[in-house]
Amino acid sequence: MARVEIYDTTLRDGTQGEGISFSVEDKLKVAKRLDEMGFDYIEGGWPGSNPKDNEFFQKAKDIEWKHAKLSAFGSTRRVNQKASEDKNLQAILDAGVKAAAIVGKSWDFHVTNALQTTLEENLAMIQDSVVYLVSHGVEVIFDAEHYFDGFKANPDYALLVLETAAKAGARVAVLCDTNGGTLPWEMEAATRAAVDRLGIDVGVHIHNDSGLAVANSLVAVNAGAVHVQGTINGYGERCGNADLCSVIPNLQLKAGKSCLPNTNLKHLVRLSNYVNELANQVPDAKQPFVGKSVFSHKGGLHVSALMKHPETYEHIPPEAVGNRRRVLVSELSGASNIAYKAQEYDIDLAHDSPALRSVVEVIKDLEYEGYHFEGAEASFEIMLKKSLGLYTSFFDLESLRVIIERAHGDDEPLTEATVKVRVNDLISHTVAEGNGPVNALDNALRKALEEAYPQVNDIWLTDYKVRVLNEHRGTEATVRVLIESTDGVQTWGTVGVSSNLIEASWRALVDSIEYGLMQVASRVPDSAS
């Protein structure tokens, strides 16, 4: 299988994206994870440009990289200056890296208008900078900035820039679509021209301003490129860079190109989520290959076919990239959806059974009332088991009361909740305060249950959302409450619907606690019971 080098620039170009910021420790963690995944190059930053990148490279010297080469980024020497006197080039050497990506101008318009120098001086800047770094033992990857725009305007000069870098000792000439405006057929022609002209490896670095970064990266490889640069989750300036979470599986699973060790590709979802977490970014559920929704199925006909042959509606097995198939339940669900979900819970529901038909009708009625189970699979599992007589509640509510008191006009209101529940024929009656009615109810319920179920203290709420379903009714409108909870091992969602916000919240809260207790109980070995 032919190889394509993967050069990750999440820690440099990716951090130029709006809202993206990593601490030094974050950058080191991401770099280590990329190395474990088997990436060929990890671009750590631009040494000398800021204290954070300087500290990163200093700390990176103490790390033994298992697979990847750590690379630094920089530019060619300044106009009319010696390479040996250029602070930027010296900072790269001080970083102690084995490789460096050096960016140089390849569009004549940029040379004369941005650099404000001659075309000849630009070639000299490239020549001197590459020779200087290579002479000091650094592998040079030459990034030809604006190559595709330059190729359109003056192809002879753009190719001459690449030749200059190659003759100076660059190992790879990277064609950069810096403005992200190149169309696929333009990408192919310009890439083939470089591949045919040069005697060194050709790579690409594509931005996503036209929504084509992944497609253009694949087109370039098909045209002869053997080195692809990009970022995890497509982070980057403006519309971002080519998303390596799409580039890699497309190349490896479909184009027959080896990018990562085969055993590591199944960790791609975990890598995507890990980087999102450190960058404090909300994962995109519809992100190809790694998103939560990309192997989700809702239509009954689709699910019926999937149960026979998964490839009918899935272009790859989700497990190949560490994802999983999800069958969603809604008013559009048929018996196939419910039967599939029942299998996940080890419940055997015959396709033509009255029980299955009854559950389908219950779901449709609940969705008509405003329930929404796509983001509340825990509530669905509880509802399904209750409908089939397979569920035993951990507690029963006797009564609840919420009091909101405001002592002074400018003070925050005080909220107190009283909960009376029956647990194993014993009544537990508790009172708790909170910073709102839901928080007070949550605190009171936990107090009521903690003696019988101490593991309730290991369950906590991570998200709470309210949606008004029929706004035209004003304060009488029905609301849907979605709660997300976790016990540190897994995360689950629950839902409650009512025209009373407290009641809707209570229903979602009860499902959340009961589901958590059910999961804890299922992990306890039989011998321990």
Task: Judge if 142 and 218 occupy the same domain.
Answer: yes
Q: Which of 313, 339, 369 is the last residue of a domain?
A: 369
Specify the number of domains making up the chain. Answer: 2
Q: Could you tell me the CA-to-CA distances from 287 to 17, 156, 284, 348, 492 in Å, in that order?
A: 17, 39, 5, 33, 21
Kindly state the average pLDDT of the residues 210-226: 98
> Looking at this protein, which amino acid is placed at residue 27?
K
pLDDT band for position 297 (cuts 50, 70, 90): low
Task: Judge if 60 and 138 occupy the same domain.
Answer: yes
Task: Judge if 65 and 177 occupy the same domain.
Answer: yes
Task: Judge if 273 and 334 occupy the same domain.
Answer: no
pLDDT of amino acid 473: 67
Task: Judge if 204 and 337 occupy the same domain.
Answer: no
Task: Judge if 177 and 267 occupy the same domain.
Answer: yes
Task: Judge if 329 and 363 occupy the same domain.
Answer: yes
Is residue 40 domain-resident? yes
Is residue 290 domain-resident? no
Q: Give the integer Cα–Cα distance in Å for 85 and 83.
A: 5
Ramachandran category for residue 521: left, alpha or beta (phi over 0 → left; psi -120 to 50 → alpha): alpha
Task: Judge if 21 and 121 occupy the same domain.
Answer: yes
Confidence check: pLDDT of 502 > 80: yes
pLDDT in tens, 463-493: 888 888 776 666 667 888 999 999 888 889 8
Is residue 475 domain-resident? no
- Phi, psi of 467, deg, nearest 5: -130, 130
Is residue 142 domain-resident? yes
Kindly state the average pLDDT of the residues 133-149: 97
Cβ atoms 403, 431 nearer than 8 A: no
List the single range of 409-413, 438-442, 523-527 with lowest mean pLDDT: 523-527
HSE on the CB side for 323, CA within 13 Å?
A: 24
pLDDT in tens, 305-317: 555 556 666 688 8
Q: Which of 342, 369, 396 is the last residue of a domain?
A: 369
Is residue 100 domain-resident? yes
> Looking at this protein, which amino acid is placed at residue 189?
A
Is residue 431 domain-resident? no
Write the CATH number for 152: 3.20.20.70
Pairing of strands 5-8, 227-230: parallel
Task: Judge if 91 and 136 occupy the same domain.
Answer: yes
Q: How many CB atoms lie within 10 A of CB 83?
A: 21
Q: Looking at the chain, how many residues does it have?
A: 529
pLDDT of amino acid 418: 94
Cβ atoms 253, 316 nearer than 8 A: yes
Instruction: List the domain range (segments joined by +) for residue 160.
Output: 2-278
Task: Judge if 100 and 217 occupy the same domain.
Answer: yes
Kindly state the average pLDDT of the residues 15-38: 94
Is residue 289 domain-resident? no
Q: Which of 278, 312, 328 is the last residue of a domain?
A: 278
Is residue 419 domain-resident? no
Task: Judge if 160 and 35 occupy the same domain.
Answer: yes
Helix (H, G, I), strand (E, B) or coil at 17: coil
pLDDT in tens, 372-424: 776 788 888 888 888 888 888 899 999 999 998 877 667 778 899 999 999 88
Q: Give the integer Cα–Cα distance in Å for 12 and 519.
A: 41
Task: Judge if 341 and 302 occupy the same domain.
Answer: yes
Q: Could you tell me the CA-to-CA distances from 506 to 374, 439, 455, 483, 500 in Å, in that order?
A: 19, 10, 20, 10, 10
Cβ atoms 272, 16 nearer than 8 A: no
